[in-house]
Amino acid sequence: MKSTPSYDHTDPLSIESYGKKMIGQTFRSIYEQSIQSGIIRTAQEDTAAYVTKHEDKNYKGGIGNLVEECWFGYKANSDAEADFPEAGVELKVTPYVKNKKGFRAKERLVLTMINYMEIVKEGDFEHSHLWEKAQLMLLVWYLHVKGISDMDSTVDFVQLFTPPAEDLKIIQNDYQKIVAKIKAGKAHELSEGDTLYLGACTKGSNSKLRRQQPFSDEPAKPRAFSFKNSYMTYVLLHYIMPGRQTYEPIVKYGKVDDFENFVESRIDAYRGMSESALRKRFNLPHPSKSIYAQIVFRILGVRGNHCEEFEKAGIVVKTIRIQKNGKMKECMSFPAFRFQELAEETWDDSTFGNYLRDTRFFFVVFREDADGEYHLSGCKFWNMPYKDLEYGVRKVWQETHDIIKEGRLVLTPDNRGRLSNNLPNASDSPIAHVRPHGQTREDTYPLPEGTHLTVRDTGTGRGTWPDTTIFTKQCFWLNNSYILQQLRDIIH
């Protein structure tokens, strides 16, 4: 006879209390206990297959399904209603990882699929299918360790979670932005960079899958509502882990109708003021490398160089200096890529592509006057437009990927022995390019196994490379002319 777990499936607190008994146990031990207690019945010959299936990293939600079946005693399903419908509780099992800076969520938290045809018929956010899934969740956290099966990971935290009031207004605005884009016939242009805490992430094992949308003939990628990785990291560090200190918020009292408009209006109130006047106004020391970022956060009422809302949303602050001639001196760089990793990626799951899809930037512009002093010119929230990403950056990424993967990297010496390469440069694309990221050319990464670079013989007798299986670290850059074009509306 099948055993029934001892908790009240109509009471959220009873469900949480029973869930907390998992803390300290591995998923493998949870599975083994469920067989011994009779919560599930698996033939001996099927045991290995069950474990293998749930260990498979391509079996999305496998660990979550195991918890549902082996601990809470109900069959995993894809029903639209909450996992514990009588209690209104949704179960979410989610990993976190440890890095040099501490801990972070390993991934976004997928909430529910977006049905493009049906969501436009829904009423307000409070009556949406999304809110039914997200308003009360039992979060089960475990530490994912590279090289170790998740079956041997330990449950560390189990806690009921509802997005707090200060987050909810932003989540509602995010939801409205996503729905508005679908209603405008632009579901195919959705990007996680459009929003702050709630994203519309791509979903589906096949990147070629497409779904019908109601107000356009152009099919769109399948997407799901999710809490962004940055938001889940904040939830973990500040709502789940004990003894963690929160960042200072920008909105300190009550709620604002539109967070981004609120931030922009705070910055705009100081438009035209010089750097020296702003330093004096906020009692900042003499100019330093980070002085412009310090000015931005002081204007926003934050003492450090981090704030709660930006951390939750993963917003990247970029201060831009426009010279008196109207040009930007610097392009925007990104972290160096490893050639071997880049060669194994596809565009749809590329590190650089995903970063630009997911990230929302906050640009704050300072413009140089005739006397060489910089004045606050304006600000804007920005994420890369769909067409620029999918048709511009993608071309640069793909060409770089192919050259590296196929071993077609070529160095050409000039008469002075200086070496140039055939990776995309700033004149090849109006949006992005590739160039070195290392301090010197000796700062290198290995090329993919079985490939090597070629040093072209130009007849000069100059130009050598000591080891053709390694090359100077490179990174993607956004052209300064492209960034400047995006900021034209706020440069005064």
For residue 418, the model assigns a pLDDT of 84
| Domain 263-383+480-486 in the same topology as domain 12-240 | yes
For residue 1, the model assigns a pLDDT of 41
For residue 245, the model assigns a pLDDT of 59
The CATH class of the 12-240 domain is alpha beta
Instruction: Give residue limits of the domains in the chain.
Output: 12-240, 263-383+480-486, 391-478
For residue 51, the model assigns a pLDDT of 75
Just give the CATH number of 263-383+480-486. Answer: 3.40.600.10
For residue 58, the model assigns a pLDDT of 65
- Residues 6 or more apart from 155 whose CB is under 8 A from it? 22, 23, 24, 25, 26, 27, 30, 140, 141, 142
**pLDDT tens string for the chain (492 positions)?**
456 778 999 999 999 999 999 999 999 999 999 888 888 766 544 676 777 777 676 666 789 999 999 999 887 766 667 889 999 999 999 999 998 888 999 999 999 999 999 999 988 899 899 999 999 999 999 999 999 999 999 999 999 999 998 899 999 999 999 999 999 999 999 999 999 999 999 987 777 899 999 999 999 999 999 999 999 999 999 889 877 656 899 998 877 889 999 999 999 999 999 999 999 999 997 777 789 999 999 999 998 889 999 999 999 999 999 999 999 988 999 999 999 999 999 999 899 999 999 999 999 999 999 999 999 999 999 999 999 999 999 999 999 999 999 999 999 988 877 889 999 999 999 999 999 986 788 899 999 999 999 998 877 667 789 899 999 999 999 999 999 999 999 886
